[in-house]
Amino acid sequence: MAPRPRRDRPAVTAPRPARGRPAVHPGAWWLWALGLGTAATRTTNPILLALLVATSAYVVAARRTSAPWSRSYAAFVKLGLAVLTIRLLFAVVLGSPIPGTHTVLTLPEVPLPHWAQGIRLGGRVTAEGLLFALYDGLKLATLLICVGAANALANPARLLKSLPGALYETGVAVVVALTFAPHLIADVQRLRAARRLRGRPDRGLRGLLQVGLPVLEGALERSVALAAAMDARGFGRTADVPPAVRRTTTALTLGGLLGICAGTYGLLTAEGGVYGLPLLLAGSAAALAGLRLGGRRSPRTRYRPDVWNARAWLVAGSGITTAALLVVSAAYDPAALRPGVVPLTAPALPLLPAAAVLLGLLPAFVTPAPEESV
């Protein structure tokens, strides 16, 4: 009897992870950065603000990729330094409402008409006024640097692709704009280099016109090709929904956005800390419900969607926890988070708020090392 042929079993291999996908959802990075920014608005203590800047810088240095948008952190740091410098210049030139006894310098004062009472140009500059302006400007600079950390860590294209269905058209428009901008810059550089090789001017009005026309022509050609491709794929087509659903969606979305604005204003001001958080939570819930209902008009699928996993919860939770602890500390011990300048005293380091800020370092340890961006 002939032996039966042997059938080889197929080898079972583990699924390969998708290359080029971020290990953390981009929305988690934004929640983390906004949490640090919210914490910065609750204090004027320069030690805590410097600790927030150092925390964001360490996480950005440890977890940003080599993509072009990851280099924006330095630009936001420079913007923060510019804001701080302008705030100090305003305090020197326009004066400060803080009374002081330690005169640093005296500038020539320009007399102003009677209708400009309360405003002065020049005059006495005090150390108390400069210190108050330094604390105030440092708070705004820290907020800008935290936003820059989100821009450096979160892929903008993947973040916009994660938008709900109600914002699908807006997300696609912004993604297309972000995609075409590097092409326009590359076209300008290529045409200017070609003109320099031919000995033609590439600067001035004449050079701008002769370079701008080919760039505009190439942009129009890409736009027409993109429009044809999007139309062939059914972009802009919507599903029929009942009128009651449309009205409910509009009411929930508008009411939710108003609640988010009022709640955010309450959180950013010391007087609205009581009603700020409830309004923000209620507005966010209403806006999310409205966006979910609005997504019925644009049924679509996502290719390789980003997953909100445990790492995303840890990253977002670290920023939110930092903001919550700073809000609580500002309510129970406002003197430690907002040191006075009259009389001149050195700011102290409060231990609990400092430990809360150090929680923002958690993403540098719970997320994997960045891979090359695609």
Provide the domain limits for residue 100. Answer: 26-156+307-366
Percentage of the chain with pLDDT > 70? 77
Cα 187–Cα 191–Cα 193 angle in degrees, nearest 5: 120
Considering the domain boundaries, does residue 220 fall inside one? no
Considering the domain boundaries, does residue 203 fall inside one? no
- Could you please report the per-residue DSSP string of 212-266? HHHHHHHHHHHHHHHHHHHHHTTTT------HHHHHHHHHHHHHHHHHHHHHHHH
User: Final residue of a domain: which of 268, 297, 326?
Assistant: 297
Residues 285, 315, single domain; the answer is no
Q: With a threshold of 0.75, does the pTM exceed it?
A: no
* pLDDT top residue among 4 and 187: 187
Residues 31, 54, single domain; the answer is yes
152 phi and psi angles, rounded to 5 deg: -80, -20
Considering the domain boundaries, does residue 105 fall inside one? yes
Considering the domain boundaries, does residue 8 fall inside one? no
Residues 282, 326, single domain; the answer is no
* pLDDT top residue among 47 and 280: 47
What are 67's two structure tokens? Answer: 């993509």
What's the domain count of the chain?
2
Average pLDDT of span 139-156: 90
Q: Does 11 have pLDDT greater than 50?
A: no
Considering the domain boundaries, does residue 238 fall inside one? no
User: Final residue of a domain: which of 276, 297, 318?
Assistant: 297
Q: Does 202 have pLDDT greater than 80?
A: no
* Weakest mean pLDDT among 119-128, 239-248, 340-349, 353-362: 239-248
Considering the domain boundaries, does residue 132 fall inside one? yes
Residues 282, 321, single domain; the answer is no
Considering the domain boundaries, does residue 181 fall inside one? no
Q: Does 145 have pLDDT greater than 90?
A: yes
Question: Residue 131: helix, strand or coil by DSSP?
Answer: helix
Residues 49, 98, single domain; the answer is yes
Percentage of the chain with pLDDT > 90? 22
Residues 112, 33, single domain; the answer is yes
Q: Does 116 have pLDDT greater than 80?
A: no
Closest-CA residue to 368 (of 309, 322, 303): 309
Looking at residue 361, what is its pLDDT?
93
Range list of H helices, 154-203: 156-161, 168-197
Residues 50, 114, single domain; the answer is yes
Q: Does 231 have pLDDT greater than 50?
A: yes
Residues 68, 94, single domain; the answer is yes
Residues 143, 44, single domain; the answer is yes
Question: b vs e for 204-222, b when ≥16 Cβ sit within 10 Å of the residue's Cβ?
Answer: eeebeebbeeebeeeeeeb
Question: Residue 350: helix, strand or coil by DSSP?
Answer: coil
Residues 255, 347, single domain; the answer is no
Looking at residue 174, what is its pLDDT?
67
Neighbours of 46 (CB within 10 A): 17
* Weakest mean pLDDT among 129-133, 201-205, 256-260, 263-267: 201-205
Question: Residue 202: helix, strand or coil by DSSP?
Answer: coil
* pLDDT top residue among 188 and 256: 256
Residues 40, 82, single domain; the answer is yes
The answer to whether the peptide bond before residue 343 is cis (omega within 30 degrees of 0) is: yes
Q: Does 289 have pLDDT greater than 70?
A: yes
Q: Percent helix, strand, coil in the chain (nearest 5)? A: 65, 5, 30
